[in-house]
């Protein structure tokens, strides 16, 4: 399933012990239940391992759940930066 493939991909990325993890729309093709489960797993792992993560998403609620800071970009430039409530 898509959820299992995403879990394996996340596991591989974390097992590589890189200092930075780049995630480009990692949950976009998943059903709502798998998406929620993987978002929670990702948030827990990121906190436990302390790995810096750059998440690219169009979903502001997802960004708010997973990120310490949100940057809104347009045409390759940062337009706004901060928390969801500050944006």
Identify the residue whose tokens are 């827990």: 44
Q: What is the pLDDT of residue 4?
A: 80
CB atoms within 10 A of CB 63: 19
Q: Tell which phi-psi region holds residue 66, choosing left (phi > 0), alpha (psi between -120 and 50) or beta.
A: alpha
Q: Which residues make Cβ contacts (< 8 Å) with residue 77, sequence separation at least 6?
A: none
pLDDT truncated to tens, each residue of the chain (87 aa)? 777 887 788 778 878 888 888 999 988 888 888 889 889 988 998 888 888 999 999 999 999 999 999 999 999 999 999 988 877
Q: What is the pLDDT of residue 36?
A: 92
* pTM given for the model: 0.76
Q: Judge contact between 37 and 30, C-beta under 8 A.
A: no
């Amino acid at each position: 399933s898509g959820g299992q493939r995403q879990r394996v991909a996340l596991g591989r990325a974390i097992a590589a012990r890189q200092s930075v993890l780049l995630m480009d729309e990692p949950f976009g093709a998943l059903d709502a239940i798998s998406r929620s489960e993987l978002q929670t797993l990702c948030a827990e792992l990121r906190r436990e391992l302390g790995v810096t993560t750059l998440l690219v998403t169009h979903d502001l609620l997802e960004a708010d759940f997973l990120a310490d800071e949100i940057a809104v970009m347009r045409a390759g430039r940062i337009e706004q930066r901060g928390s969801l409530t500050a944006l």
